[in-house]
């Protein structure tokens, strides 16, 4: 008698483009905010998945500067790490490929990432 294998968790689909890519949301202007340069803009506000990872779609703009091309697998043991994800992006400003590390939205991981930024 053959047993059917059942999954405990549904297969991950975050690395597959959706049928239609949602348009990136543009931030509304804030009065008195006209002189501020948006060099380091944050991604559009949306809920994280249940583990705290930022939910993204291939082909969407992470920010006005970076467009997500794929999850990055070269020289990385795990693309979905314990506290981050590594994305291959297109830098629209420099017109070059870039790798962007997206940290899990949990305070201890955010603190560890800030220490890493200071070291680098």
Q: Is the dihedral of CA 16, 17, 18, 19 positive or negative?
A: negative
Q: How confident is the model at residue 75, as a pLDDT?
A: 46
Q: Is the dihedral of CA 39, 45, 50, 55 positive or negative?
A: negative
Rg, C-alpha atoms of the chain: 17
Instruction: Write the pLDDT tens digit of every residue in 10-27.
Output: 555 555 555 555 555 555
Class for the domain spanning 66-119: alpha beta
pTM of this prediction exceeds 0.85:
no
Instruction: Write the pLDDT tens digit of every residue in 33-48.
Output: 454 455 556 666 667 7
Question: Distances in Å between the alpha carbon of 41 and those of 10, 36, 53, 63, 77?
Answer: 33, 11, 18, 6, 29
Q: Which of 3-7, 26-30, 112-116 has the lowest mean pLDDT?
A: 26-30
């Amino acid at each position: 008698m053959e047993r059917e294998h059942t999954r405990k968790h549904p297969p991950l689909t975050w690395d597959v483009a959706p049928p239609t890519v949602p348009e990136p949301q543009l931030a509304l202007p804030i009065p008195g905010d006209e002189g501020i340069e948006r060099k380091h803009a944050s991604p559009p506000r949306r809920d994280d998945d249940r583990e705290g990872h930022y939910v993204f779609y291939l082909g969407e703009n992470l920010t006005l500067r970076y467009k997500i091309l794929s999850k990055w697998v070269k020289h990385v043991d795990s693309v979905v790490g314990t506290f981050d994800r590594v994305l291959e992006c297109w830098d629209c400003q420099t017109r070059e490929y870039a790798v962007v590390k997206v940290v899990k939205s949990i305070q201890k991981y955010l603190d560890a990432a800030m220490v890493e930024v200071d070291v680098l």
